[in-house]
Structure 1
């Protein structure tokens, strides 16, 4: 159990579930003895069965209520169990903090999607400690007196659909196209169905509105930003012979294997370059070249890596990562896979080096970056161009969307 808890803290929910699944499959039973029956409620990352049964969006659709005559709202966010430092909760926390500063009343409600057991108190402690949020966390069963509620993942969308409130406006905070987290099967179809629930979508970036609109879902989006004060270089940039890799082996959409293969090719051509992995602790992985394992880092530690590294390999096979704009502010060249999921959000930005999601092309583009003349001077130029890339306009836009959809004021 201690190992599982450690995995959850360091690698997140999905990695923990994979280890549990692997452990169960490895259990050997005596010859002739029946193996235990599979408990359907234990299928990893699923809504509660009673919520699935109740959420009849076909015959009993959600009807958007009348607009409210108020401009300070009670806004609820339904969250799955919380881990420290997760990208999804980091983004949610940004907007929660801003909405709170504007006079709205914010509350989290914890929804257990049959993953890691967690109490509302434990979740609140993590929000306070890891996300610097002073927002109450309650059990979903305590839900009441809210004007607005956000689903924050496909499992929580089922709970939100079933919440009752005469004037309750339901939104969906969409940070990725979650069906493709799975193979085409039951979870894929159940996640896909949530875009038909009738909620208004607010999405991370411009790629997702087109995806969810295929299901008839209305949506608007916010642009990504960066924490300028953290990632802006504090002194003239002096690059080392170093590149970085956003290594998330337990998050399949981050293309870990593609990255390792590309880096092996790159390292053979440029053995003088140090390669630093960050994003996950890598002690259990046999990597076919010398590298430095930095594990999970805080923002200040990330800024140090970005300032020293010439380039960072950051792969995003679904919605784009938060990293590219942070890297540009820091004067580090992002090398990324091309595709609408990235270019629709970041644009055909000439400061980002796009490559095919293929090891040889990724390695070639990394080599071109490190072979550039006057690398440190170029890094300074990039950094200066992105010093206005803050989150502030996105905070304002999200509040404007909520007020536009919910209030007459």
Structure 2
């Protein structure tokens, strides 16, 4: 637009709207033009340079020769910045702690593509939130290892790119492409299953899923901390049910659960409903409930011991909660699907239902209306009496030894 055209536009606007408005509009326009233009970065979780370097098609990863007999292994885990309360990182710490207790040399390597985190910050979180003392370094300071383990999908890219003689593994806890809509992140997550690492998966469903991409894998079973969750007959059940409420985690189907509980509440208004897993205070919940937020393991156990049933939903890999609930004598109601039953098995005390709010509510009602609920809770706990983590820890160590040493 020429200078004359701009002056004419100003004159016309001032004539119709008044000089004051015309001057203000002009000032606003000039101010807007002077503001720096914000350029949105390319956000794909992993560093773009790492993605560009990871040419698994032309230069696929090939496992090095087995190293033979060696009493203690040097094992590196690559993690994105530590986050207090992360369930996935807590599970990683469980297994890493066990390996450390067996005498293996364990190091955590930080990969900071998501956001920066100092080694000191990571160490503090590991100690305060996960009660774990372990060596922590930046991935740029990687030291030669016998085994190098990717964790979240974004960490698979730097693991692929590291020039090392280590055997490379992938600790897969969920089918992460489903965390996103169909787009770049989903595709990049899928591609990590084609990199050639040996998978160690949380349950059989994930072993099956990653095999669709040609990925070899073995699995470990879930367990429960019996010292924390074991059923306590002396803690009387109350007219209470609970809900694992994670509105920030799509795969936990928060909205389906709220609708189901609204139906349940109308039939059983005498029952208290407690939400846990996240602070839901900013959500409009159409029935009375107690917002417990994020709880300690001990407070979660107390909630389970007091509750008759729990609605716990998962649309991808099953969570750790169902076995903990059973151990505590709290009956889990879950959406049916291989992602749940293939991992947990057909336990008679897990109530699988279609992912329909009406049927979820009906199943909750069926449980709380039982005449023999105390005996039922005890039997549920007895059904998982041997579901400790010990066998799973030992199996993961055996997988590492087998693939690294040939034992």
Q: TM-score, normalised by structure 1?
A: 0.89
Contact 2:81–2:114, Cα closer than 8 Å, also in 1: no
Correspondence 1:343 to 2:349? no
Partner of 2:271: 273
Partner of 1:11: none
Partner of 2:83: 83
**Local SS of the residue matching 1:224:** coil
For residues 88 and 120 of structure 1, the distance between their equivalents in structure 2, rounded to whole angstroms, comes to 19
State how many pairs are aligned.
376
Contact 2:278–2:294, Cα closer than 8 Å, also in 1: yes
Displacement over 4 Å in runs of 4+: 30-35
Partner of 1:151: 150
**In the TM superposition, what is the alpha-carbon distance from 1:132 to its structure 2 partner?**
1.1
Partner of 1:121: 120
For residues 378 and 148 of structure 1, the distance between their equivalents in structure 2, rounded to whole angstroms, comes to 45
- For residues 181-235 of structure 1, what are the alpha-carbon distances to aligned partners after superposition, in whole Å with 9 as ceiling and x for unaligned? 0011111111000000000000000100110001000000000000001001344
- For residues 53-102 of structure 1, what are the alpha-carbon distances to aligned partners after superposition, in whole Å with 9 as ceiling and x for unaligned? 10000111111101113231110000001111211011111100110011
**In the TM superposition, what is the alpha-carbon distance from 1:400 to its structure 2 partner?**
0.5
Correspondence 1:110 to 2:110? yes
Of the structure 1 ranges 227-236 and 283-292, higher mean CA displacement relative to structure 2 is found in 227-236
Contact 1:177–1:208, Cα closer than 8 Å, also in 2: yes
For residues 274 and 362 of structure 1, the distance between their equivalents in structure 2, rounded to whole angstroms, comes to 17
Partner of 1:163: 162
Correspondence 1:40 to 2:38? no
**In the TM superposition, what is the alpha-carbon distance from 1:279 to its structure 2 partner?**
0.2
**In the TM superposition, what is the alpha-carbon distance from 1:374 to its structure 2 partner?**
2.1
For residues 239 and 397 of structure 1, the distance between their equivalents in structure 2, rounded to whole angstroms, comes to 36
For residues 236 and 374 of structure 1, the distance between their equivalents in structure 2, rounded to whole angstroms, comes to 16
Q: Give the greater-gyration-radius structure (CA).
A: 2
- For residues 97-119 of structure 1, what are the alpha-carbon distances to aligned partners after superposition, in whole Å with 9 as ceiling and x for unaligned? 1100111000000001223x311
- For residues 218-255 of structure 1, what are the alpha-carbon distances to aligned partners after superposition, in whole Å with 9 as ceiling and x for unaligned? 00000000000100134435210000000000000000
Select 1:242's aligned residue among 227, 240, 256.
Answer: 240
For residues 217 and 361 of structure 2, the distance between their equivalents in structure 1, rounded to whole angstroms, comes to 37
Query: What are the ranges of 5 or more consecutive residues in structure 1 without an aligned counterpart?
Result: 1-29
**Local SS of the residue matching 1:97:** helix
Partner of 2:92: 92
**Local SS of the residue matching 1:198:** coil
For residues 281 and 214 of structure 1, the distance between their equivalents in structure 2, rounded to whole angstroms, comes to 37
Contact 2:232–2:328, Cα closer than 8 Å, also in 1: no
Contact 1:239–1:375, Cα closer than 8 Å, also in 2: no
Partner of 2:302: 304
For residues 40 and 132 of structure 1, the distance between their equivalents in structure 2, rounded to whole angstroms, comes to 35
For residues 302 and 380 of structure 1, the distance between their equivalents in structure 2, rounded to whole angstroms, comes to 18
**In the TM superposition, what is the alpha-carbon distance from 1:322 to its structure 2 partner?**
0.2
Partner of 2:19: none
For residues 272 and 150 of structure 2, the distance between their equivalents in structure 1, rounded to whole angstroms, comes to 42
Of the structure 1 ranges 174-183 and 374-383, higher mean CA displacement relative to structure 2 is found in 374-383
Query: What are the ranges of 5 or more consecutive residues in structure 2 without an aligned counterpart?
Result: 1-27
Partner of 1:391: 389
Partner of 1:3: none
